[in-house]
Amino acid sequence: MPFLGKVNFGAWLALLLPLVASAQVDPFKRELIQFGYNQPVEGRAPVAGYLYYYYNQPDFLRTNLTLRLAVAPTYVDSEVGFVHGLGPNTDLGVGVAGGGFADSYNEIRGGQWLQGESFDGHSAEISASVYHLFNPGDLIPLNLVVRGALHDSFYAANENTAANFQTPKDTPSFNFRTGLRYGGIEPTLFPALAMELAIWYEGQFRGQSGNYGFAGDREVEPSSHLFWASAALSYTLPESQQNFFIRTVAGTSVDADRLSAYRLGGFLPMVAEYPLSLPGYFFQEFSARQFALVNASYLLPIAPNERWNLEFNAATAGIDYLSGTGQPGNWVSGVGGGIMYRSPSDQFKCVVAYGYGINAIRSDGRGANSISVLLQFDLEKVHSREFNAPKPGRWNGWNWLLGR
């Protein structure tokens, strides 16, 4: 794969991390293995992918404890949830996370990966979360989430970082997140049934700020504030089993910097709680101060028992680029398609997809191509041998924390 350029082993591991964002204590037993890989055809880009094992066990040791564990080659994220720990409708979670390459940063500007301005970042974190359910007994839950975390980031140059590029200083921070979520989407590929309305705020308050880069030409802000909202619906037609999914996400920020800005691009649907996907583009190709993004997908069964499906997807986004990272044109779009195989009881799914970035800037003009491979192995369904359509209920979503 010569178009990847020179990538050290740490860069590969940096893209194999499962990172978890607070949602709510998951009441369902889960045991999943997820793999995703996004390969551009034109240009040099960072390795883009994920590999993780996710385990969620209610009634862990005691009936009111839930263990959530996410394990990847260089990173572990865990939380113990105390069900009704703060009242009949309020749960408490205490988490510990840490490992290598979780806060690594890759600079991409104008369709070019600038390896000399990219660097590694490692992290450690402890957190506490409160999850309050407003409407117990209702089919679609409404939850309040409040989370605080003490986070340490440790930055270092890698073998491709320019010798005269100074990495940011090691940065302790207090990260605060709160939001309302109505409904939810399970952490699985192409869920059969789901809906969500959500609004969020996240603040990052750093104990170390200041300039870095080439002679201090960029800055780590002392605090950054992110605000975003999401609406999503997944529905499967009962007779034909055709599946439609659409999600809209819009966000803005105050005092965002390169380490906290929104990152859009690539087609890796399980890489984040809110994957900002744009098929055909590099993973995290765009850094945004604010944005509006629409993603849509369609699954069409083409074989008996819905084992084989054609998959089509499209995305379009309006982007207000972070200062210093912009390019001509504030509107970008991408389309894609592929084929999905799923085994009986849905315990195994495999997707091979092609993506075309309509507005991507490359050396030969506009337009770019990419290939994605997605795998999901549901060990819990192997044990149960039963198919249970995903419910729009409570779950712990994924958030890929490369600087987020």
Number of domains observed in the structure of the chain: 1
Predicted local confidence at residue 273, as pLDDT: 87
Range of the domain at 216: 2-384
Task: Classify residue 337: in a domain, yes or no.
Answer: yes
- Distance, in Å, from the CA atom of 291 to the CA atom of 85, rounded to the nearest integer, reads 37
Angstrom distances, CA of residue 88 to CA of 26, 135, 210, 213, 277: 16, 12, 45, 50, 38
| pLDDT per residue as tens digits for the range 287-327 | 999 999 999 999 999 988 889 999 999 999 999 999 999 99
Task: Classify residue 393: in a domain, yes or no.
Answer: no
Q: What is the CATH number for 365?
A: 2.40.160.50
pTM score of the predicted model: 0.87
Predicted local confidence at residue 7, as pLDDT: 38
Task: Classify residue 397: in a domain, yes or no.
Answer: no
Task: Classify residue 66: in a domain, yes or no.
Answer: yes
Whether the per-residue pLDDT at 385 is higher than 60: the answer is no
Task: Classify residue 391: in a domain, yes or no.
Answer: no
Task: Classify residue 345: in a domain, yes or no.
Answer: yes
Compute the mean pLDDT over every residue in the chain, rounded to the nearest whole number.
Answer: 88
| pLDDT per residue as tens digits for the range 224-276 | 999 999 999 999 998 899 999 999 999 999 999 999 999 999 999 988 889 99
Measured torsion, CA atoms of residues 49, 26, 176, 122, in degrees rounded to the nearest 10: -30
Task: Classify residue 398: in a domain, yes or no.
Answer: no
Whether the per-residue pLDDT at 390 is higher than 50: the answer is no
Whether the per-residue pLDDT at 394 is higher than 80: the answer is no
Task: Classify residue 395: in a domain, yes or no.
Answer: no
- Distance, in Å, from the CA atom of 275 to the CA atom of 182, rounded to the nearest integer, reads 18
